[in-house]
Structure 1
Amino acid sequence: MPINNNENNKRIAKNTLLLYVRMLFTIIVGLYTSRIVLNTLGVNDYGLYNVVGGIVSMLGFLNSAMTAASQRFISFELGKQNKQKLEEVFSTSVTIHIIIACIIFITAETIGLWFLNTHMNIATSRMTAANWVYQCSIFTFMISVISVPYNACIVAHEHMKTFAYISIIEVSLKLAIVYLLLILSFDKLIIYAVLLLCVSLIIRVIYGIYCKKKFEECTYRFHFNKKLFLEMFSFAGWSIIGNLGFSLKDQGSNVVLNLFCGTAINAARGVALQVNGIISNFSNNFLMALNPQITKQYATGDIPKSIQLVYAGCRYSFYLLSIISIPVMVNLDYILSLWLGIVPPYTKEFLFLTLITALINSMSGSLVTAMQATGRIRNFQIVICIIMMCEFPMTYITLKMGYKPYWAVIPSIIVITLGLIARFLLLKQLVKSYSIHYFILHIVLRNIAIAAGCLILSLYISQYWEHNDFISFILTSFIAFIITIVGIYLGGMTSQERLFISSKIKIILRHNS
């Protein structure tokens, strides 16, 4: 059946809009709850939660690998419209995830538990709480692993409205957690970890019920298709290698920071990563809506359309992130003091450098999807794993040499940049139609030039305002926002895109006149 590109574009736009509605609600509640949690737990306990939870998250490379495998195979079979194979893919995926959950449990309760109690820089008086957090994090993580096939089906079917509704339920439950933290008198950190585990379990049940009702393939039947099992596990196996690099990159660096600097610095980095995660949703939501179409177009043999979508993903995910990141960078001091009240040391520097890292990394998402669509990911994952793992020793050396804690983010910027270029070169080897010249000149360098120019101009103009009141914050943020929008419109869009936007604006103005 031929694919209607116009309908697909409308679907991408609609799904992106739904995901943004979801995101705005989660941001508002998330910012409020983060402030209360930080103030209630205190800087050290907040940092303790981040670093202890991070030990379990280091096993996330297993889960991330299978997430990629599940979404790829389900989207591919939907593109092929092979119902029987789709059912087999789902059931096989569930079986594999149960196996992975068991592996995570055994590893976490042996090696991870030993490391927590013998090597972490945690006050003796908080070791009991740390172990509670660790155990809750293990079971929370196992729940998320088992949920992957169901979530992958929702993404592949492009039912983004579901994510919007369930996310509203999830953040509402987390808002209730904040209230309980304030009124319960037991150890706040332990309460926080236990309640987050309960929320994960509730959301898992909701996703499972929805998928079983809406998608025929989401009824688990154990049957062992050796060929499919090996194919998916092989795909996931190579993905595990690549995601292992990311796990050591992020959580390994967090552990190194703990060993050198203690839990207060982990709190600063935790705040920076949380803000970065919230802001990155502006581009991630677009990619979540776009990625299934990249895979489906490749599956049907429409390579030019798939390439067009990949280039669009690289550009617009960067633009969407820039629109939010640059106003935040201009007002970091005021935003952090207004939001948190208690600002952990070096949080501003961590956040600024983390946002730069996120901007560069935002150009990688659609490249990864395009590579996964080919199914040939061995060399890709090996190379990316090696590059990402370089951050761990680089961070250790940086801190060992006595640099400030926030310098630990510089290695991240370096490896993310190298990873971006490596991804494209490896994709080019498999799909010859990609253009290295176009990618480097018209996407990477143009994106960086636009963002740097907009940031410098915004910082220059903002120096004429005092950054200690709400009116100045609104004015400087609005100016930075407008500068970024104009910069993207004039420097980042093609003439056809500018013409399209101009025509839409004229239609809106004509209807309102």
Structure 2
Amino acid sequence: MSQASENSKRIAKNTLFLYFRTFIIMAVSIFTSRVILNVLGVEDYGIYNVVGGIVVMFSLLSGTLTAATQRFITFELGKEKPESNKVFSAALEIHVLLALVIFILLESVGCWFLNNKMNIDPIRLYAANWVFQCSTLTFCINLVSIPYNASIIAHEKMSAFAYISIFEAIVKLGFVYLLLVIIYDKLIVYALLMLVVSIMLRLIYGVYCKRNFVECQFHIVKNKILFKEMLSFSGWNFIGSTAGMLNTQGINILINLFFGVALNAARGVAEQLNAAVNSFVMNFMTAVNPQITKNFASGNYKYLNSLIVKGMKYSFFLFWLFCLPLFFETEFVLNLWLIKVPRESSVLLRYALIFSCCQLLSQTLYTAMLATGNIKKYQIVVGLLSIMAFPLAYLFFFCGLPVEFGYISSIIFSLLCLIARLYLLKDMIPKFSILSFCKDGLFKIILVILLSVMLLTFVKMCIQSLQNKMMSFFIILCFSIFITGVSTYIVGLTKSEKRIIKRIIESKIKK
């Protein structure tokens, strides 16, 4: 069996494990979100969303090292004689130090911003501070655990995530029940319970890694060259992390300042449902990413470039399978899911889905860039370009435009960044072809979008007089899956990809 075939099977197997994990988490998340929004109310739910966002803003400091840790451990495992224990230990030392720095920043700058600048009812400020403290501790605990999770991904042991998620689902369901019966301030109780979940999960992941991976036995490392290389990589990646933070939590805070916590709740609902759909694709990408890094490390550029195009295209088609019916039936899904739907949620969800579509086009390009390790020029150009979405959103809100323009600004610069990435990666990755990426990837995706949207719009028009909303949704869902599948096969795949699918189907029929 060829190496490429083994890699493809490993990706498929790991994707199935991650899908199993996602189904569990998504099912629990959808149920618990409905209960939590109803129990907390729109205002408290919005407070939790925006206050937790302050802590997430500081994650840009950790996000840079997270990417560095995953890249260096995975890259090391791709070598013939890896020394991954040094990389793991160095990463853990850096993350512990960073956790202390961020804790001090959050307790000073973050706490001041919460109590003096946020648009929160003074009556609920006490509870908001509890949320802030719990979110801070949760964040620091997760930060120290990043090297352990990076080792799981680098070793492609995705089954660990699946099994631990069963435990996570059971615990969260139990905690939701506690939230219903406890009389004390429910916002504070919810924040405390989420902290407990985080502590339990971090301990489990840590024990698993120490027992299964040799490099996860910590030793003090004094390798200045390794530290310098990792910190230099993280320093340049800081620009991209800053852009990501401003485009998510930064805009979320702008919404709070211009529109209040009610629309923070609406954005929170939109992001949660969008994240649930997006998680199916991220599972596939989590399985693909280590292969991109390892093939670059081993110099297998032909398979690497094929993986970049196919990974981008297949991840988009997976997302589109869930995105299309949700986009057409947004209001029905939100009303079915939630007891009280925050205003503007449906509009924001649609824009969130469009933004995710744009971001997916660059996921494999981003991973390939990290694999090269040569990210200085890339981050200066793409990072600074991406950051411009934040001031544009501020300008939109300042001019009195509605809340959805926060997403519109992000969508504009996401597409501009895609163009910049293609031209930069041409010089960073041997044999990378922009023409092949566009011809076999982007062009196929555009054709699938146009064909499926037109056909489903026609179906929607034919059943618009149908009074039964559930029946209407079921028809749209069935036709959407069928149309997406057919469109993908007819215009989304190359001739060689169609031949592979035919062979798979024929072999299954014979069996």
Residue in 1 aligned with 2:329?
331
Q: Distance in 1 between matches of 2:450 and 2:38?
A: 34
The within-5 A match list for 1:127-276 is: 127-276=125-274
Q: Distance in 2 between matches of 1:471 and 1:462?
A: 12
Question: CA shift at 1:440, angstroms?
Answer: 2.8
Question: CA shift at 1:460, angstroms?
Answer: 2.6
The within-5 A match list for 1:447-462 is: 447-462=445-460
Contact residue 331 and residue 467 of structure 1 kept, 8 A: no
Contact residue 440 and residue 494 of structure 2 kept, 8 A: no
Amino acid at match of 1:228: L
Q: Distance in 2 between matches of 1:164 and 1:424?
A: 34
**Runs of 5+ unmatched residues, structure 2:** none
Q: Distance in 1 between matches of 2:260 and 2:330?
A: 23
**Runs of 5+ unmatched residues, structure 1:** none
Question: CA shift at 1:3, angstroms?
Answer: 7.8
The within-5 A match list for 1:334-483 is: 334-465=332-463, 466=466, 468-483=468-483
1:423-482 Cα deviation digits (max 9, x unpaired):
222111212411122223432243133223312321331233337532221111110111
Residue in 2 aligned with 1:62?
61
Q: Distance in 1 between matches of 2:434 and 2:75?
A: 26
Residue in 2 aligned with 1:45?
44
Distance change >3 Å, CA 3–CA 139, structure 1 → 2: farther
Residue 88 in structure 1 maps to residue 81 in structure 2: no
Distance change >3 Å, CA 467–CA 351, structure 1 → 2: farther
Residue in 1 aligned with 2:108?
110
Question: CA shift at 1:369, angstroms?
Answer: 1.1
Residue 494 in structure 1 maps to residue 494 in structure 2: yes
Question: CA shift at 1:173, angstroms?
Answer: 1.7
Amino acid at match of 2:412: I
1:276-322 Cα deviation digits (max 9, x unpaired):
11111121111111111111111111111111111111111111100
Amino acid at match of 1:501: I
Amino acid at match of 1:45: D
Question: CA shift at 1:332, angstroms?
Answer: 0.7
Q: Distance in 2 between matches of 1:492 and 1:103?
A: 48
Please, which of 306, 309, 322 is the counterpart of residue 308 of structure 1? 306
Aligned residues: 509
Partner of 1:402, secondary structure, is coil
For normalisation by structure 1, the TM-score amounts to 0.97
Q: Distance in 2 between matches of 1:191 and 1:21?
A: 30
For normalisation by structure 2, the TM-score amounts to 0.97
Residue 27 in structure 1 maps to residue 29 in structure 2: no
Amino acid at match of 2:103: F
Residue in 2 aligned with 1:319?
317
Question: CA shift at 1:507, angstroms?
Answer: 2.8
Contact residue 334 and residue 468 of structure 1 kept, 8 A: no
Residue in 2 aligned with 1:73?
72
Runs of 4+ aligned residues of structure 1 deviating over 6 Å after TM superposition are none
Q: Distance in 1 between matches of 2:409 and 2:350?
A: 14
Q: Distance in 1 between matches of 2:61 and 2:450?
A: 36
Partner of 2:167, secondary structure, is helix
Partner of 2:144, secondary structure, is helix
Question: CA shift at 1:365, angstroms?
Answer: 1.4
Amino acid at match of 2:186: K
Question: CA shift at 1:46, angstroms?
Answer: 0.6
Residue in 1 aligned with 2:118?
120
Question: CA shift at 1:505, angstroms?
Answer: 2.0
Q: Distance in 2 between matches of 1:445 and 1:129?
A: 50
Partner of 1:61, secondary structure, is helix
Partner of 1:80, secondary structure, is coil
